[in-house]
Chains A and B, each alone.
Chain A
Amino acid sequence: MKTAVFKIWRGDANGGEFSEYSTEVTEGMVVLDAVHAIQAQQANDLACRWNCKAGKCGSCSAEINGVPKLMCMTRLDAIPLDEPVTLEPMRAFPCIRDLATDVSWNFRVKKSIKKFNPRPPDAPDGTWRIAQEDIDRVQEFRKCIECFLCQDVCHVLRDHHLQEKFIGPRFLVFVAALEMHPLDTEDRLPELKTAGGIGYCNITKCCTKVCPEHITITDNAIIPLKERIVDEFYDPLGKLLKFFRPKI
């Protein structure tokens, strides 16, 4: 039977090193299967996160040969096995142990964003009427499984470590889903410009490329938000018009 060699990063916040494991390869196997086999047979204490094993929960994010991916959706027959496959934890986040990283920053960021605030119901029974075409875009954003691969690959977070100044692509998508929700009445643009740090994004589209849900993060979420910010804060004509416009 065919075998493959994996170089898996073993360590914690204080450092670590790559360890080599070799495991058998069967048809259709994904990287997570290999990790599980190694865990069950050779390294019981190898730490990794996973849940659904079907690309729906976004737990098993890691860097496979240096590329941020979900381990459960990466087939071994799609990567070269004639040399060792390297597996590393996401580099934009502090390592807890082995492949598990501390992603708690993401949860704190989400909490800082103003929650959904709907307009009053349209019908006496407390329901709303929304056309499907008005929510197609929002539904695209809501496909996000919070794997944080977009955060991992974003150079603002990964290389420049601006976690305190920039919320990252995941939360720009999150804000876009709220701002474009037809029922929402909140305005999150001022915070997006300041605490959200949207200006740090220089639309290199790395996030879009790694998104396992194929959300067009940059084109559909970030650029429209940037345009709204420009309209709101930097358009002199708009500002003038707004000055004379009666307050609603």
Chain B
Amino acid sequence: MSNYPTLEYDVLVIGAGGAGLRSAIEASAAGVRVGLICKSLLGKAHTVMAEGGMAAALANVDDRDNWKVHFADTMRGGQYINNWRMAELHAKEAPDRVRELEAWGAVFDRTADGRILQRNFGGHRYPRLAHVGDRTGLELIRTLQDHGIHQGIETHMEHTVVTLLKDGDRVAGAFGYDRERGRFKVFKAKAIILATGGIGRAYRITSNSWEYTGDGQSLAYHAGAELIDMEFVQFHPTGMIWPPSVMGILVTEGVRGEGGVLLNNEGKRFMFSGIPDAYKAQTADNPEEGWRYTQGDKNARRPPELLTRDHVARCIVDEVKAGRGSPHGGIFLDIAWIKEKLPNAAEHIKKKLPSMYHQFMQLANLDITKEPMEVGPTTHYIMGGVRVDAETQMSNVPGLFAAGEVAAGLHGSNRLGGNSLSDLLVFGKRAGEFAAKYSKESSSSQINDVQVEEAARQALEPFERSVKATGTAEGPYQIQHDLQEMMQNLVGIVRREREMTRALAELDQLWRRAKNVIVHGHREYNPGWHTALDLKNLLTVSEAITCAAIQRKESRGGHFREDFPNKDSSEGKMNIVVRKDADGSMNVRRENIPEMPPDLKQIIEEMK
């Protein structure tokens, strides 16, 4: 046995945002011992940043809505490379997951007849997002947290996992450290659920916090799991861009859902030009109709500002490139204009978008009820991630599950706003349920001490390197910064083959620098050390994104290639799969998407 404290669970959940908490609650309810690891304090995960709402076809506001419409919207938004079975399960189960939250104490905004209110959002045909003002994510995580703490789940706050441990092919546990003391711990488990979220810190401009360094994707990859769709990174069209210190902070799509419009520096609503064919029939062709839609007129079609995020982000980039951008290189998002339509517009905006009002007032000295905001695209979400079985959320590594952003499939090439919170709940629950089942059917796993000692040795290396031996004295922050700059410039919103090839070469250099990184001080609460350990994950996911993006020779959803600007129907029939080869190199291959069953095909036809 290794000398490190060892904790034993049936199911270990890594990550305590919405997906992690939901899966821990479910596994615990199944009667197994559950451990929950959070990188930060409980309740601080990126889920709190979700603003707009969670999509579920409750049909409280528009009774024409049902799971089939939601399914078709999700597939259309993801441009049909989604895992159709996940999209089906998600659309069918989301309403129950939302109602369950209410039973656990969530307090959603209400309709006039006292039911859960739903709002419009990009790509959703009907008002579908259950919400609480513009702080829905906080409501979700707090509800799960306050329910979860009474479920007998053992929570380890401010712990980080650096590697997964294997027992033959199956997963056996995880090895990590606590931030406070810097002590190593072994977590032995029959099943592990990854719920670590995204990879936003691989880019310079991002809405993600320091935690989102691709930990889960990287842990899974190095443990032999397959990743798919890694080329699809979502750049949210509206992040703050001014002042510089707030660049990347999210401005909710809810602003547009409530009637906000996008304007260029000529004051023109540029989104009316270039509406994609797949959306022409359901998009308003004049401002008046768009306004009526946001105010709940069932006969009106949605304004073009509420087209999918990939499209809106690209339109903004084009507008800026054409010289019609705002002073600081973005465009204008105007909600103040609704005072022409509503007598008490300022109060209305503050009620519907309180945190946006607050955020701009405090950080940008700007009153959104009076002036337009300056916004531009920000790295927000990755559609790709760990490849999982649709029903159980298990990866190809026995005992290793994934749920939420770290898992792939549901969103295809582009996620619809609001489909993330519902994803967390639907697949968090499934992962918890099936991981518990798996653990009950499995014998105890064996921890391999050699793996543990090797992981510990690697983790301590940054302290032990000397300037003399490495010939450099480089700390982790510069490497992280250079990686972010490089990914932003070479594998960003608009991609080109030669730039991405250059990115691979630069990644090679960055890997080399990361292997020589030096950390000062001691192990207790040392963010320099933590940043150094996260580099491996950031580099792994950056490489996977770049390799997959080079491989997909077309433009689709979040992946736009200037050298292949159109969709290609044969490329659209496959997923790109990334896996670690036996020799440690990254293997990238194409795999056909399984044929959709006739009943689902028919739904898509009917909803066209």
* B-binding residues in A (CB < 8 A): 12, 26-30, 33, 39-41, 44-59, 73, 75, 96-98, 100, 102-104, 107, 110-111, 115-116, 118, 121, 126-132, 135, 138-139, 142-143, 145-146, 178, 181, 184
Q: Mark B436-476, 1 if CB is under 8 A from A, else 0.
A: 00000000000000000000000000000000000000011
B149 and A111 form a contact (CB under 8 A)? yes
Interface positions of B from 465 to 491, Cβ below 8 Å from A: 475-478, 481
A49 and B107 form a contact (CB under 8 A)? no
Task: Please name all residues of chain B whose beta carbon is closer than 8 Å to the beta carbon of A46 when the two chains form the complex.
Answer: 527
A28 and B142 form a contact (CB under 8 A)? no
A92 to chain B, nearest CB (A): 16
Task: Please name all residues of chain A whose beta carbon is closer than 8 Å to the beta carbon of B327 when the two chains form the complex.
Answer: none
Q: Mark B245-281, 1 if CB is under 8 A from A, else 0.
A: 1100110000000000000000000000000000000
A28-B364, A30-B363, A142-B139 known; A132-B245 Cβ under 8 A: no
What CA separation (Å) do A132 and B112 show in the bound complex?
8
A115 and B150 form a contact (CB under 8 A)? yes
A28 and B243 form a contact (CB under 8 A)? yes
Interface-side segment among B164-172, B216-224, B518-526, B572-580: B518-526
B180 and A145 form a contact (CB under 8 A)? no
B599 contacts chain A at the CB level, 8 A cutoff:
no
Task: Please name all residues of chain A whose beta carbon is closer than 8 Å to the beta carbon of B135 when the two chains form the complex.
Answer: 56, 143
* A-binding residues in B (CB < 8 A): 40-46, 48-49, 99, 102-105, 107, 109-110, 113-116, 132-133, 135, 137-139, 142, 146-147, 149-150, 157, 180, 209-211, 242-246, 249-250, 354-355, 358-359, 362-364, 475-478, 481, 519-522, 524-529, 531
A184 to chain B, nearest CB (A): 8
A40 and B115 form a contact (CB under 8 A)? no
A28-B242, A45-B529 known; A116-B48 Cβ under 8 A: no
What CA separation (Å) do A127 and B56 show in the bound complex?
15
Task: Please name all residues of chain B whose beta carbon is closer than 8 Å to the beta carbon of A178 when the two chains form the complex.
Answer: 105
Task: Please name all residues of chain A whose beta carbon is closer than 8 Å to the beta carbon of B520 when the two chains form the complex.
Answer: 44-45
A178 to chain B, nearest CB (A): 8
Task: Please name all residues of chain A whose beta carbon is closer than 8 Å to the beta carbon of B116 when the two chains form the complex.
Answer: 127
A104 to chain B, nearest CB (A): 8
A96 and B41 form a contact (CB under 8 A)? no
B49 and A54 form a contact (CB under 8 A)? yes
What CA separation (Å) do A28 and B242 show in the bound complex?
8
Which of A51, A59, A145 is most buried by chain B, counting CB atoms within 10 A of its CB?
Answer: A51
Contact of B528 among A44, A59, A110 (CB under 8 A): A44
Which of B43, B157, B521, B525 is most buried by chain A, counting CB atoms within 10 A of its CB?
Answer: B525
A129 and B363 form a contact (CB under 8 A)? no
Task: Please name all residues of chain A whose beta carbon is closer than 8 Å to the beta carbon of B362 when the two chains form the complex.
Answer: 55, 73, 75
